[in-house]
Amino acid sequence: MSDSAPPEGDFAFRGVPGQSKWPEMVYAGALSFLRRRYSRDLTGVDVAVSGIPFDSATSNRSGARMGPRGIRAASTMVAELDGFPWGFDPFDIIEVVDYGDCQFDFGYQHHAVEIIEAHADAILATGTTMLTFGGDHFVTYPLLRAHAKVHGPMALVHFDAHSDTWPDDGERLDHGSMFLRAAREGIVDPSRSIQVGIRTVNSETHGYTVRDAPWVHENGPAAVVAEILRVVGDHPAYLTFDIDCLDPAFAPGTGTPVPGGLSTAQALAIIRGLASLNLVGFDVVEVAPAYDHAEITSLAAATVAHDMLCLLAEQRQAGRY
């Protein structure tokens, strides 16, 4: 036993700018995403992580409002060591803080769009990139509205079991129709956008390129990466990952699970191939911890989000971010 004092923990509160990963006890301590310090001062910050605990637009099982908390808790397992297979600590390269959660009054759900959009506006106004945790997938719609004010119509790189382009009257709070609304409003460009992992029937693509789950299984992650790069090109791209893109064997903790999906290994291999994209925003949504088993869904989501940060770190090393 060493006589030296143990390292100080609780870096969610005690951390300082430039704090690298540190082997804080994974089973204890104050929770933040990847043990990043909580801060709303975005001076010198590259990425602000925030949660949107909203799930009033769900069509099946509710519970994704607990997703940000679940992802943060599971992320302690990913916060210890250099990123695999990257071989670096992303926090030696980019500055990331946990901004906390967007605040709602649960009795006024009809204000959700304006509240989420204003939350994103405040972060984006500082030039900081957003990594956001849902909540149900509807939260991506107001996030896209905010990002489009900065970047114009974006490419949408969309991982999901569902197309989320069913009919929409422009007023619904519905996690299954908002990407049709986004296309109609011109905040995403379907001709530059791609949906990966789809395995529910929708006879109309509305201009989105679709590479469904059987296509992924037949062709493999490298072919999916090539398709994403081909469709998106150098257009500003927003990456949204619905955890139900994964098969329920790998992600049972979600509201609308659909068998036949991607494995965690397939999804991570695809994401890790996207560093050449012009990535302007990210989210991971639809984690519902109440339906999870042994935190495997939350851990998958935390790893996906960690690798999104590693993409930006890789871009920074290459001088592209």
Q: What is the pLDDT of residues 268-300, one digit of tens each?
A: 999 999 999 999 999 999 999 999 999 999 999
5 pLDDT more than 60: no
Q: Provide DSSP, 253-299.
A: -BSS--SS-B-HHHHHHHHTT-TTSEEEEEEEE-B-GGG-STTHHHH
196 pLDDT more than 50: yes
Lowest mean pLDDT among 128-142, 161-175, 262-276: 161-175
Cβ atoms within 10 Å, residue 284: 26
Mean pLDDT, rounded, of the chain: 94
pLDDT confidence of residue 125: 98
The DSSP bridge partners found for residue 129 are 47
Cβ atoms within 10 Å, residue 234: 11
Closest CA to 159 of 39, 41, 251: 251
- Specify the amino acid at residue 7: P
Residues 6+ apart with CB under 8 A from 254: 61, 64, 243, 244, 248, 286, 287, 288, 291, 297
pLDDT confidence of residue 86: 94
pLDDT confidence of residue 81: 87
Lowest mean pLDDT among 3-7, 212-216, 268-272, 277-281: 3-7
Residue range 219-239: mean pLDDT, rounded: 98
Give the pLDDT confidence of 24-82 residue by residue, as tens digits. Answer: 778 888 899 999 999 999 999 999 999 999 998 898 999 999 999 999 999 999 998 89
Domains of the chain (ranges; CATH) run: 27-317 (3.40.800.10)
Residue 92, CA atoms < 13 Å, CB-side half-sphere:
11
CA dihedral 65, 67, 68, 72 (to 10 degrees): 150
4 pLDDT more than 60: no
Residue range 221-230: mean pLDDT, rounded: 98
Q: At what angle do helices 296-317 and 67-74 cross, to 10 degrees?
A: 70
321 pLDDT more than 50: yes
pLDDT confidence of residue 10: 83
pLDDT confidence of residue 106: 84
Give the pLDDT confidence of 93-119 residue by residue, as tens digits. Answer: 999 999 999 998 888 888 999 999 999
Whole-Å CA distances, 107 to 52, 58, 119: 16, 16, 18
> Residue 1: which pLDDT band, with cuts at 50, 70 and 90?
very low
Lowest mean pLDDT among 76-80, 143-147, 151-155, 284-288: 76-80
Q: Provide DSSP, 161-221.
A: SS---S---S----TTTHHHHHHHHTSB-GGG-EEES--S--S--TT-EEE-HHHHHHH-H
> Residue 172: which pLDDT band, with cuts at 50, 70 and 90?
confident
pLDDT confidence of residue 65: 95
Closest CA to 199 of 139, 159, 254, 140: 159
pLDDT confidence of residue 7: 60
pLDDT confidence of residue 247: 98
Distance CA 298, CA 74 (A): 6
pLDDT confidence of residue 18: 83
22 pLDDT more than 80: no
Residue range 187-210: mean pLDDT, rounded: 96
pLDDT confidence of residue 2: 44
On the 0-12 / 13-18 / 19+ scale of CB atoms within 10 A, 23 is exposed
